[in-house]
Amino acid sequence: MGNFPFGPKYAITNARWVGRTGDCMHGARTVYFRYWKGGRSISVIGRGVCMRVRSGHWFFRPLGKLSVLMMALPLVLAACGGSATSTPSTQATTTGNTPATAATGAGAATKPASSVVSSTSAVGSTTASSTTAAGTAASGTGVTTAGTGADPRGAAPTKRGGGGTLHVLYWQAPTILNFHLAHGTKDDDASRVIEEPLATLSINAATPDIPVLAKEIPSTANGELAADGTSVTWKLKDGVKWSDGTPFTSADVKATWEYVMKPQSGATDIATFEPIASIDTPDATTVKITFKAPTATWYFPFAAGGSVVLQKAQLDTCTDKASCVVNTAPIGTGPFKVKSFVSGDNVQYVINENYREPNAPFFDAVDWKGGGDAGTAAKAVIAGQADFAWNLQVDPSTLKQLTDSGAKLNLTPGGGVEKVLFNMADPRTDVNGEKSSPQSKNPFWSDPMVRQAATYLIDRASIAKNLYGPAGNATCNILPSVPPQTVSKNTQCSFDVAKANQLLDQAGWVKGSDGIRAKNGVKFAITFASTVNPVREKEEQVMKQAFQQAGIQMDIQNADSSVFFGQPDNPDADARFLHDLEMYTSSPTVPDAGDWFKNWTTSQIAQKSNNWSLPNYTRFSDPQYDALVAQLQKELNPEKRAQLQIQCNDYIVNHWVETPIVDRNSVDGRRADLINTNPTPWDYAAWNIAFWQIKK
More reliable by pLDDT, 516 or 122: 516
Tens digit of pLDDT for each residue in 19-32? 222 222 222 222 22
| 486 vs 666, residue with greater confidence | 486
Mean pLDDT on 566-570: 91
| From 193-197, 283-287, 530-534, the region with the lowest mean pLDDT | 530-534
Mean pLDDT of 192-203: 94
Burial (CB count <10 Å: 0-12, 13-18, 19+), residue 359: middle
Instruction: Tell me the pLDDT tens digit for each residue of 578-606.
Output: 999 999 999 888 889 998 999 999 999 99
Per-residue pLDDT of 271-307, as tens digits, reads 889 999 999 999 999 999 999 999 998 998 999 877 8
Which of these ranges, 63-72, 211-220, 434-443, 673-682, has the smallest mean pLDDT? 63-72
Amino acid at 423: N
For residue 121, which amino acid is it? S
Distance CA 367, CA 383 (A): 17
**What's the average model confidence in pLDDT over 136-149?**
36
Q: Quick one: pLDDT at residue 150?
A: 72
Per-residue pLDDT band for 561 (boundaries 50, 70, 90) equals: confident
Domains of the chain: 165-395+672-694 (3.40.190.10)
Burial of 92 (0-12, 13-18, 19+ CB in 10 A): buried
- Work out the pLDDT band at 394, boundaries 50, 70, 90: confident
- Full-prediction pTM beyond 0.85? no
List helix spans (H) across 223-279.
250-261, 270-273
Interatomic CA distance for residues 598 and 243, integer angstroms: 35
Place 457 in a pLDDT band, splitting at 50, 70 and 90: very high
Cα distance between residue 424 and residue 696, in whole Å: 56
- The residues that bridge with 553 in the sheet, in sequence order, are 525
Q: What percent of the chain has pLDDT over 70?
A: 78
What pLDDT is recorded for position 439?
97
Lowest average pLDDT, out of 75-84, 241-250, 377-386, 647-656, goes to 75-84
Neighbours of 233 (CB within 10 A): 17
Across 173-194, average pLDDT: 93
pLDDT greater at residue 409 or residue 144: 409
Give the lowest-confidence range in 64-78, 426-440, 475-489, 654-668: 64-78
**pLDDT of amino acid 582:** 98
Whole-angstrom distance, CA of residue 54 vs CA of residue 12: 10
Coil, helix or strand for 650? helix
Question: pLDDT digits over 41-97, tens only?
Answer: 222 222 222 222 223 322 222 222 222 222 222 222 222 322 222 333 334 455 543
